[in-house]
Amino acid sequence: MTDLTIASQGFSYASFESAAMTRLIEDTAHAWLRSFGLTNASAKQRLVTALRDALAQDSFAANDRTNMQDLLDQAAHDTIGGWFAQVTGQHDCYGSGKFSMLRCAFLSANRDGIWSEHFLDQTRTHHDLAIALSVQMMLPTPSLKSCEMPRQTLERRAS
């Protein structure tokens, strides 16, 4: 029975979730939260819920652990990226570079744990967090300004 048929028959996904799947979702959530330096229970519950929702909305071969893992990772990435987009008001929060920068900024801003409760919370306003993130955002390089540096030759006068 696929998720699609479960959904079409009106059952909730969670009621059919196997123990292995629960473990996988929990571990995935734990890994992603740890990469943001978080142990907050509310944040974890929100991410777990988001992952379950993502699984419920998708169909895949339930016994394919690799695919599931990829799907969960992608779901976690998208969920957090979406939340960052909501917080910062910017839409380009999903790319690996920007996403990592925001992760850095969040880790810096949340050193004393004051933003842990806010993580993935869609109901709050995040104006202060947005300011905190902008203050902590790293900028590795300025804007690219490409040009060619021609090789000189030893045979002619330089132009």
Partner 1 sequence: MNRISDPQNDPTPDHPKGSPDDAVAYDPAVRLRGPGVGARRFFLFGASLAATVYAAWLMADVLGADQLTIMEMVVVAFFSINFAWISLSFFTGIVGLILRGLKLDAITLKRLKPIARKGPLRSKNVVVIPVYNEDPNRVFAGLRASYESLAATGEIDAFDFFVLSDTRDPDIWIAEEMAWAKACTDLNARGKIFFRRRAENTERKSGNLKEFCETYAANYDHMIVFDADSVMSGDAMVNMAYLMENNPDAGIVQSPPQPTGRQTLFARILQFISRVHGPTMSAGLSFWCMGSSNYWGHNAIIRVKAFIECCGLPVLSGKPPMGGHILSHDFVEAAFMRKAGWRCWLIPQLEGSWEELPPNLIDFAIRDRRWCQGNMQHARLMVADGFKPLSRLHFFMGVMSFASSPLWLLLLLSSTIATLQNTQLTYSFFPGHFTMFPQWPVDRSFEMLVLLIFTIGMLVLPKIISILMVCLGRDRKQYGGVMVLMSGLLETLYSALQAPIMMMLHAQFVFSVLTGNQVGWDAQERDDAGVPFRAALKTHRTIIVIGLIWGAIAVFVDTAFFWWLSPILAGLVLSPWLTHYSSNLAIGKAARRMKLFVTPEEYDSPEELRALERITAENGGGGDVKDGLLRLIEDPYANALHSALLPARKPDARTAIEIGIIYEKLARLGIESLTRDEKLLILSWPVKPLDQIMAGRDASAEKSPDVLS
**Which positions lie near partner 1, rule CB under 8 A?**
27-28, 30-32, 34-37, 73, 95-97, 100-101, 103-104, 107-108, 137-159
Measured CA to CA, the distance from residue 98 to residue 100 in angstroms comes to 5
- Residue 43, CA distances (Å) to 19, 36, 67, 80, 92 in order: 21, 11, 25, 11, 23
User: Closest CB to partner 1 among 4 and 114?
Assistant: 114
Q: In the bound complex, what is the minimum distance in angstroms from residue 26's beta carbon to partner 1?
A: 10
Cβ closest to partner 1, residue 12 vs residue 90:
90
Residue closer to partner 1 (CB basis): 22 or 35: 35
Min. distance of Cβ 1 from partner 1 in angstroms? 27
C-beta of 32: minimal distance to partner 1 in Å?
A: 7
- 102 burial (CB, 10 Å; 0-12 / 13-18 / 19+) is buried
Query: Is 94 in contact with 77 (CB distance < 8 Å)?
Result: yes
Pick 28 or 40: Cβ nearer partner 1: 28
Half-sphere exposure of 102 (CA within 13 A, CB side): 25
